[in-house]
Amino acid sequence: MQRAGALRTRWYLAVGAALTVVAVAAPTAHQRDAAYGLACVMLIGATLVSKRRTHLNGPVAAAIIVAVASLAVGHSLRGLRMQAAMFGHSALELVGTVAMIVAAVAVVRRRPPTRVAATVVDAGVLALGAWLIGWIVFVRPIADAHGQTGATLAVDGLLGPATMILLCLVALIVFSRTKPRLALRMLGSALLVDVIGHTTTALVDAGHLATSFDRFGGACHVAAYVIAGGALMHWTAAEILSPTTQPPLERRLGRLVLTTSGLLVPVVVLAATTPHDNADHWVRIVSVVAIGCATMVRVVMSGRDTTETQDELVRGAQTDALTGLPNRSTLLAKINECMTAAWSDNRQPALYFVDLDRFKNINDSLGHAAGDELLVMVAQRLRAAVPDHATVARLSGDEYVVLEPGAGSAAAAMALADRLLGVFREPLAMSHGDVFVTASIGIALLSLRSSSTPEDLLRHADTAMYRAKDAGRNCVALYDESMHQRVAHRLSLETALYRALDREELRMFHQPILDLDTGDVEGFEALMRWRREDGTEVSPVEFIPIAEDTGTINAIGAWALLEALIQLRLWIDEGVCSSLATMSVNVSPRQLADPGFPAMVSEALTRAAVSPHQLWLEVTEGIMIAEPELALATLQRLRSLGVRVALDDFGTGYSSLSLLQRFPLQRIKIDRAFVLGVADNPNDRSLVRTIVAMGRSLDLDIVAEGVETVQQMQVLSDLGCKKAQGYLISRPVPAEAMRTTVAALERLSGVPGLRPPAGRPATSLA
């Protein structure tokens, strides 16, 4: 359809170009007038086609047809050069211009120009300037040359302002989009060419140009009608009347230059000419006064706009754009005021840090627009829940802060916190439906010892909020000094962990996995240990979550995997273990979520010269529950490499059975919590028996973790569990101690029940 419309437009413009050539080169006036008339007919036809194909509405189409018809008849009257004919020509040109203004207004009303009043005043200044220039340069000389008086003179005088108003309206249409389409640009060009034609004709009538230029003026009219018709025929003409909420492109410098020219040019023309008579003198005076009044109004409006813009900038710098709440800088200023007043009034302000729980889930599932809607509704509820003298601010994202200047005590602060939590007990009625959301709240009370600045108080509330998150969310935590110590300790560990690899502070320990039937070492589990430069040991339970949160787990995990595989290769080559021994390496959820993780595993296997079948990657349920599709894709890619996957800590999660069915797992490791009571707790024994039977039915390898007594090992063997690891067999040991550990275990392979030899503690076989 677009190609067909473009083709019609090209044929239309080709015919119009031929008519324009005729209007310039035809030897007789009748031939030139015929070209003009055909151009008018073509424009009327293009208007009717556009009405049918692009849904140009009736009033606009009718106004265009009236305008073209009026201009065509007026053009024919101009050639008669009689007084009545000249009046008719001027009147019809005015009618045509007014009709075009009506059409342009209809289009402008469908679009939202900014600063409409300012645009109208600017157009008024230009119209008055055009009136004055037109009076001096065109209207008065033409009236003197042709003896025009009265009505004809008045009509000619109105043409200039009307044309300038039309130009301003078309400019609004053209620039109502950042990138105007072709049809809009063609319409603007057509009007400009038509104005050039009118100006040329007026200069000829006033005697300022030779009559030979009359052909050029007529050709401009023909070209303008042809271009306008081509614009209406083009497929982008549908945009002319399409409503839009997009703000127009404001060219303030261009408007300033244009408006200033509308003031300066009339002044220059006034200075260069003298009044012909008393009437001319008064017309000039009235026109200058009108221009001055319009200019004064525009200056006042500009000053008011500047003030409003400055106020808006100040509000924008002090408030949150989405919710209208005070922002961080405003909040800190209010906290400072409260702290200053508290020292003198013996008050104790309280600061509440409110953070929505799992807000990311709402953005991901419903979209950011719904997330913004929820943030606004939460802001409204918080404002309604706090006292009038309290301040509610939004820092960023889903973080809000409430400042209560006169809480007075911890009990009063907790009472308001409970009220804030109550805000989230009722669902939020959003456009997508009702949504429940909870929040974690941290409270910080002003303290002479620790809250010396607004930033301190805000940081303490933030720290307490994270304690509420760690406590399970949807609860309140009150800041105390121990929280600061824990945060400082964590920050110290985070900083040191970034450099731990470079300083070679991380080491790999290994724990053997024993085959209970043969007593052979079936494989090893690699476990990371961290000894800092000062000699302090940091537990994996402490530093692994930090590595997860900071993202350093990817680099540390890649190092650990390669180190473990290289060590396995070395043990095999040295005869420490069987050539079929395996290495189990723990994989964190963050590693599993990394798209490059399978490639990194493949590279580590290649560099260590270890078969993929000898690598077990141990994963937990976390990522398989939070990101099941991502986890499934990554595990399938790992399985395609030949790597085997084990589910660690089996039995502690709520969805373990479904995971066994969906994910490509080959081993389950029974959590030590069940192994601990397997010897003397019938419930644990029954549960382990069920796990082992289920594993067998699914053809899964079973490993029991945390075996600490011979009785536990004997019961596990009786229940059918074939592999185990734990302190009874061996504690995690450094690589250099593994040879003696494996040798000690092999010496026990012939002992019935794998009992420890005489004189050796029952807590360790190795």
pLDDT at 541 over 60: yes
pLDDT at 512 over 80: yes
**Percentage with pLDDT > 70 across the chain:** 78
Most confident of 78-92, 169-183, 312-326, 601-615: 601-615
Q: What is the pLDDT of residue 757?
A: 35
DSSP reduced 3-state for 326: strand
- Given pLDDT bands bounded at 50, 70 and 90, which one contains residue 158? low
Q: What is the pLDDT of residue 111?
A: 55
Overall average pLDDT of the 380-393 stretch? 92
How far is it, in rounded angstroms, from Cα 740 to Cα 627?
43
pTM of the model: 0.55
How far is it, in rounded angstroms, from Cα 405 to Cα 387?
10
- Given pLDDT bands bounded at 50, 70 and 90, which one contains residue 252? low
pLDDT at 470 over 60: yes
- The region that residue 702 occupies, defined by phi over 0 for left and psi between -120 and 50 for alpha, beta otherwise, is beta
Beta-strand (E) ranges in 370-475? 391-396, 399-404, 428-430, 433-435, 439-445
Q: What is the pLDDT of residue 399?
A: 93
pLDDT at 356 over 50: yes
pLDDT at 50 over 80: no
Q: What is the pLDDT of residue 727?
A: 94
Contact criterion met (CB below 8 Å) for 436 and 329:
no
In this structure, which amino acid lies at residue 328?
R
Assign 3-class secondary structure to 83-133.
HHHHHHHHHHHHHHHHHHHHHHHHHHCCCCCCCHHHHHHHHHHHHHHHHHH
Overall average pLDDT of the 488-501 stretch? 86
pLDDT in tens, 612-634: 999 999 998 877 777 788 888 99
> What's the Cα-to-Cα distance from 704 to each of 478, 701, 763, rounded to whole Å?
42, 10, 16
In the block, residue with structure tokens 């300033």: 256
In 3D, which of 291, 240, 273 has the Cα closest to residue 122? 291
pLDDT at 242 over 70: no
Largest interatomic CA distance in the chain = 138
Q: What is the pLDDT of residue 480?
A: 85
Q: What is the pLDDT of residue 110?
A: 59
pLDDT in tens, 319-341: 888 898 999 989 998 988 888 87
Q: What is the pLDDT of residue 85?
A: 56
Overall average pLDDT of the 273-300 stretch? 78
Q: What is the pLDDT of residue 249?
A: 45
Q: Phi and psi for 391 in degrees, rounded to 5?
A: -115, 130
Q: What is the pLDDT of residue 753?
A: 46
- Say which range, 3-12, 351-360, 575-584, 697-706, has the weakest mean pLDDT: 3-12
